[in-house]
Amino acid sequence: MWQWFHKLGSPKWFFGIANRLMPWLLAGGLIILAVGVVWGLAFAPKDYLQGNSYRIIFIHVPTAFLAQSVYIMMAVAAVVTLVWRMKLADVFVKAVAPVGLVLTFLALFTGAVWGKPTWGTWWIWDARLTSMLILLFLYGGVIALDRAINDEKSAARAVAVLVLVGVVNIPIIKYSVEWWNTLHQPATLKLTEKPSMSSEMLIPLLLSILGLYLLFGWLACIRMQTEILVREQRTKWVREMVMAGRN
């Protein structure tokens, strides 16, 4: 049972697994995302209230969804870093923090583009928007702290503490649309309830989210591989691999 868990801690083992996974993640992600987005943008029915402008949901919701779940994944990895001192967990945090930052920015940006035709304003200081902005700041802080500490091990643990402290923001984002009376509409997708949108809109939306998840998986793998190569550049297996690649 614990065998795979220990293996997971080995950068070399992960490097091999990632090599095998990445083509699938990339191909699957691109195809599913393309199907979802094209279906959503071109073929899904118009919204009876918002007309065509609602179609940005097929980009806005996946990015916002992933922006939050990337932070949760980072928090889980942070616990692993602090408790088991697993190298890969901290490689993961370091590799995906910039990705999370970009996703959060995209969610805010597409939200602003969507807000202009529907609310008549680019930005409003509403609870959901403000808490997403805080998430953007948190990602920025994590990256800044990581860059500021030279020692790799202390950087990993300090960043882990910061990520865990920032986790308090996640439930605030999630429930901001329910706790406060906000302009932002309530959640489109809920696990516990019947979806509030028709299946012709729902299926492309779910496909876009799944596609973006797979694409994120690919991006995480390639960024982690790069980080591993930098860290393990003095080890034998990296040298052998690089030399083999050169011949």
Count CB-CB contacts under 10 A for residue 72: 11
Contact segment (CB under 8 A) with other proteins among 86-94, 104-112, 140-148, 190-198 equals 140-148
Contact segment (CB under 8 A) with other proteins among 27-35, 100-108, 155-163, 202-210 equals 155-163
Contact segment (CB under 8 A) with other proteins among 2-10, 40-48, 133-141, 193-201 equals 133-141
For the segment 10-69, give every residue that binds other proteins (CB under 8 A): none
Contact segment (CB under 8 A) with other proteins among 1-9, 94-102, 168-176, 191-199 equals 168-176
> Site for other proteins (CB under 8 A): which residue of 11, 62, 115, 166?
166
100 forms part of the interface with other proteins (CB under 8 A): no
> Site for other proteins (CB under 8 A): which residue of 83, 144, 230, 242?
144
98 forms part of the interface with other proteins (CB under 8 A): no
For the segment 175-234, give every residue that binds other proteins (CB under 8 A): none
| Cβ atoms 46, 200 nearer than 8 A | no
165 forms part of the interface with other proteins (CB under 8 A): yes
> Site for other proteins (CB under 8 A): which residue of 82, 210, 222, 229?
82
Q: Which is nearer to other proteins, 162 or 187 (CB)?
A: 162
Contacting positions for other proteins (CB under 8 A): 82, 130, 134, 137-138, 140-141, 144-145, 148-149, 151, 153-154, 157-158, 161-162, 164-166, 168-169, 172
